Structure 1
């Protein structure tokens, strides 16, 4: 008797848009919006971190959730001690950015980063509700 090949679970889930795998990272969304602090907590509770794209492919992975939900998402970057300079949550400077033209421009007032529908970034106040996207 011929046994069927085992299902390819990762491929099945990605077809439904629930997860996106890029390189060694898996991105997933709750498909719910929350403020920045809660987004960080939600991802941590799932044993992941808030999405922090480090290149164009990872940025496009997060963008796919933003487009699917038709809403902006928070990214795991915050403004450092110098207004207008953003970093990872652990304080490491960014080596990849995708700012919308003229951004960031909050200069101390907008300490979080959101992704627009086109995949570009904007600095934003952290209390707004944005889509939760985590990475693992």
Structure 2
């Protein structure tokens, strides 16, 4: 049996087993662009938030464009009630140099003017902060806040 035939057969089977499910994101995640996002309704430190995201097969959100930043700010405003959300960048490795987890540089930023300011020596983690209209803020990593997990959209051969 050719690989293409196996692939087509699996797609046919998938369409039968999930007939009504056309989402490409796990339940509770919201699709935007090529990513799925989960806005937590629980709080945790930066490390706890990172662990939750990993448990869900995702990572703390990495914002790489204005479009993505605008989407996350808009959704954060719609969620109501959260004072902030952890994103996946820190300057724990080198003070003042924020990088995404895994070491990728921040090629796009959306800092509130005057941020990051490192007001306290523990402000090493990145949040979307409500009082700054959900623009970026450096924040104490051990404080508890909500968080945003991100994962890539699932692609199935059936959606081609």
- TM-score range, shorter-chain basis? 0.7 to 0.9
Distance (Å, rounded) in 1 between the aligned partners of 2:20 and 2:52: 29
**Worse overlay, 59-68 or 87-96:** 59-68
**Counting helix residues as a fraction of each chain, which structure ranks higher?**
2
Larger strand percent? 1
Instruction: State how many pairs are aligned.
Output: 127
SS in structure 2 opposite 1:43?
helix
Q: CA deviation at 1:29?
A: 2.0
State the alpha-carbon separation in 2 of the partners of residues 60 and 7 from structure 1: 30
Q: Is the 8 Å Cα contact of residues 122 and 141 (structure 2) preserved in structure 1? A: no
Matched residue, 2:140:
125
3-state SS of 1:111 partner: strand
- 2:103 corresponds in structure 1 to 91
For structure 2, list consecutive stretches of 5 or more residues without a partner in the other structure. Answer: 1-18, 152-160
By how many angstroms is 1:8 displaced?
Answer: 6.5
TM-score (norm 1): 0.80
For the aligned residue pairs, the C-alpha RMSD in angstroms reads: 2.4
**1:34 matched to 2:44:** yes
- Is the contact between residue 39 and residue 132 of structure 1 (CA under 8 Å) also seen in structure 2? yes
Q: 1:2-17 counterparts in 2 under 5 A?
A: 7=20, 9-10=22-23
| Range with greater deviation from structure 2 (79-88 or 33-42) | 79-88
2:59 maps to 49
* Structure (1 or 2) with the larger CA radius of gyration: 2
Task: After TM superposition, give the deviation of residue 80 of structure 1 in Å.
Answer: 4.8
CA distance in 1, matches of 2:23, 2:143: 32
**Which residues of structure 1 form unaligned runs of 5+?**
1-5
- Provide, for residues 73-119 of structure 1, a one-character-per-residue CA deviation record: whole Å limited to 9, x for no partner: 00100005432110011112110100011011117531101102323
Q: Contact 2:46–2:141 at 8 Å: present in 1 too?
A: yes
State the TM-score, normalized to the length of structure 2: 0.69
